[in-house]
A and B are shown apart, each in its own frame.
Chain A
């Protein structure tokens, strides 16, 4: 069955970096895009962008350009989200989601990134 398994919670200080992983299984990884979605505490869902798992080309939503990097390692069917120069406002749960024909049909369990001094 399709599964997206994300890395565990992270506690970081402001200015540090974090890299969240999203390991896919149960399907051909390079046939479906991976999207990233942020959810701040008590807030709604916010689309961050997506990465083409065939070409490796990332697309970032407005507001997520500069400190955010999407990447892949297709040899281990894994997508990554790296956030640099962390700020307290980056505290959130980050989700990866598989996209099929525009639908986010499978989601990872989420990774909580906490940024505090």
Chain B
């Protein structure tokens, strides 16, 4: 089966940059989507088509991809960005990464 691999957790200080990675075979050929899920809330799309930001998502969120690794970068991380972040791709079926819990402290 196809997997998307994410680190389980990441800690970042307020104002610093958080880089959340997602790796998988042939990810370079596919669009990647990123979701933010805060505790008790529904997922929120923050990046689509690997690099695009939906309207209403702050500019501090950006997406990139190099080879088979996609990265969600949060610049100037704020306390409100504390959440679990999931990557997702279509590989003949829809696959989500296991999620990265970002703690801001």
Contacts and interface: CB of A to CB of B under 8 A. Distances in A.
Nearest to A109: B42
A105 interface: yes
Given A44-B86, A103-B33, A105-B48, A61 B43 contact: no
A92 to B, nearest CB: 14
A109 B42 CA distance: 6
Contact of A104 (B33, B93, B99): B33
Interface in A43-73: 44-47, 61-62
Interface string B73-96: 000000000000010101001111
Interface residues of A, number: 19
Contacts of B44: 107
Interface in A73-112: 95, 97, 101-105, 107-110
Interface of A: 35, 37, 44-47, 61-62, 95, 97, 101-105, 107-110
Given A44-B96, A107-B43, 5 more contacts: A44-B97, A44-B99, A102-B33, A102-B90, A107-B42
